Chain A
Amino acid sequence: MAVVLEVEGLKKKYGSLEALKGISFKVEEGEIFGLIGPNGAGKTTTLRIIATLLTPSDGKVTFLGFDLKKHPEKFREKISYLPEEAGAYRNMKGIDYLNFMAKFYAKDEAEVREFVERAKRICGLGERLKDKVGTYSKGMTRKLLLARALMTKPALAILDEPTSGLDVINSLEVREMIKGFTREGVSVLLSSHNMLEVEFLSDRVALIDRGEILDSGTPQGLKEKYQASNLEIVFRSAVQ
């Protein structure tokens, strides 16, 4: 499998606070790679750096052969980022929001229509897309945003806590949406403190705590290595 994203010795400091202490990992084409760890472990900082929102203090990030520091614009062209607490423009209708976002990525109007049609299928919001985003529930907004992130078929979708704040039914639907999309060749880098969710979704995972990657591998491989029944126990063992 070809490597889509390579992170080497990534560090991030906020003044004296070292949020990332030199983490390294790779994401391969078509796989779902999960970063799991507690709140404040450095997951969001890692994703924000790859999404070009934050600048690294040290280390190297390469995406499809492009260096982050030299070509952030190449990252933005091919990456879709879904922040944990993302929102959409409340005064826009759902369909207008999708159109607005699609235009940044599409070459022409035909491609805009193609992206929006795909988003409609992904989110499954149907007629509600004609309503203003301000009238949506949290679950509906999240589905809209996830559809926005995946509609352009990005080379890498970065999803920060994709089911954050959603109820059980909505969480299940969102997980199915993510899983289904990688079948079309999209790589996904996701983070969650819900280790069971990551175990269900990810092909490979990295355990991150206090800015360091403790271990990484397939969920099954890690469970075997730590003789654990699930990733939560794996994480506890790795921390100890």
Chain B
Amino acid sequence: MKNFSHLLIKEIKELVNKQLVISLVFMLFIFNFIGNVTKSEIKKAMAKQKIAVLDLDKSEISKNIIGALNMANFIIEEKSGEKEQVVKELRSSGLDLLVVIPAGFGQEVSNFRPGEVETYSYLKGISMTGSRKSEIVKALLQTTNEFLSNEYLKKKLPDLDPKLLKAPIKSREFVVVRDRMAEGSTSAVIGSLYAQSFILPVILMMIIMYSSQMVITAIAMEKQNKTLETLLTVPISRTAVVMAKMLAAGIVGLLSAAIYMYGFRNAFSFNTGDIAKAMSGVAPILKQLGLTITTQGYALFGISLFLTILVALSLATILGVLAEDYRTAQSLTVPLVFLVLVPYFVSLFADINTMSLPAKILVLAIPFSHPFFAVQNIMFGHLNMLWLGIVYNFLFVVVMLYWTTKIFSTDRVLTMKLKWGKRKVVL
């Protein structure tokens, strides 16, 4: 045990080197920079925007529309003159949105004929601010349409409620999960669950990839620096050598992933406050539907994640043995990355439970898949699936650890090589 902790400390020190620290600090700096740029763009988009309005109608209705634009967080710069001239002038001005209310608009609308409003968006680049302006104008025109059509209906059918005329069906939405039912919007429930869990696959992917890369690098560096042979002849068991490397890689990998996630969260303004805010209305529905994770659920997810990390570490250890140097080790992480990307994308864009059986088997055969679907399985009560995943990964870990320690206990630790030129594994 003394020798194990001694070796573990050395492994951690070797992994937490200047290069890793610099790359993590650089990554935090980049994320911070992206975050600041994004936040400033959002701030700009949310701030009061200046737009130009050319009212050629000068009717009561057109004035109402301009008033509504004022209410919708726009600073109005009223223009006058010929439309073509105004459109041309605005090309070189700082304004990039023009609303034109043509002459006769009010007359047309008053006579219950469709009136036209023209909007001109001046694209000067791709930014949130530009797209948001036209979206708001569209929403505004929709509201104006709603207002005018209600007025029309009130005049024609004064005894009836225009809203009832336009939407004679009143719907009540119910969401059913297993044997539970709650009244609420399905999209709100799904949106809320997605908001809670969209970050999870990213975290999982980062943990698995960082840990694997760490252990592959640790072993490859021992080979490249010609220190492995010496290490294998010191009085410490081979199992302890393997475990120390895997544990150190797991610790440093988790730490790196945590730092990465911190930077990611800052950059994309992700925080628990936002989720809590988004969930506040849906929370009672989720609770009623049993779509919450209990302590037992968290424990099961933890087991699934822990086993997956062990799978990744043991697989990476074997790949590390195959690598002759650091450069080969880097290329050997590619197959692992692909294996992680499959469940990552499936969990983001598909429902594993509705996939065809062969596709489902293929995805679930990848041991990394199980924690990606664990939370969903816990919430929707697919506990058999969850347990199956845990048992599968446990067996996988046992086999892989046995094989890894076996490799380290035999000549293979020195003789196994991956020859890229011949594409051949030499045992």
Contact = CB atoms under 8 A, between A and B. Distances in A.
Interface residues of B, number: 23
A87 interface: yes
Nearest to A78: B235
B62 to A, nearest CB: 74
A81 B233 contact: yes
Interface in A77-107: 77, 79-83, 85-91, 100-101, 103-105
A104 B1 CA distance: 11
A83 B227 CA distance: 9
Interface in A91-142: 91, 100-101, 103-105
A86 B227 contact: yes
B6 A103 contact: yes
Most buried by A among B14, B225, B233, B237: B233
B371 to A, nearest CB: 33
Contact of B6 (A80, A90, A104): A104
Interface of A: 14, 48, 51-55, 73, 76-77, 79-83, 85-91, 100-101, 103-105, 145, 148
B10 interface: yes
Nearest to A105: B235
Contacts of A100: 6, 10
Nearest to B9: A100
A79 B414 contact: no
Given A54-B411, A103-B6, A76 B234 contact: yes
A7 to B, nearest CB: 17
B229 interface: yes
A80 B234 CA distance: 8
A81 B411 contact: no
Most buried by B among A76, A89, A105: A89
B6 A83 contact: no
B230 A81 contact: yes
Nearest to B222: A89
B410 A55 contact: yes
B225 A104 contact: no
Interface string B196-236: 00000000000000000000000000000111011011111
A52 B230 CA distance: 11
B235 A77 contact: yes
Contacts of A73: 235, 237
Contacts of B237: 73
B6 A55 contact: no
A148 to B, nearest CB: 8
B326 to A, nearest CB: 12
Contacts of B14: 89, 91
A83 B234 CA distance: 13
B93 interface: no
A86 B230 contact: yes
Nearest to B10: A100
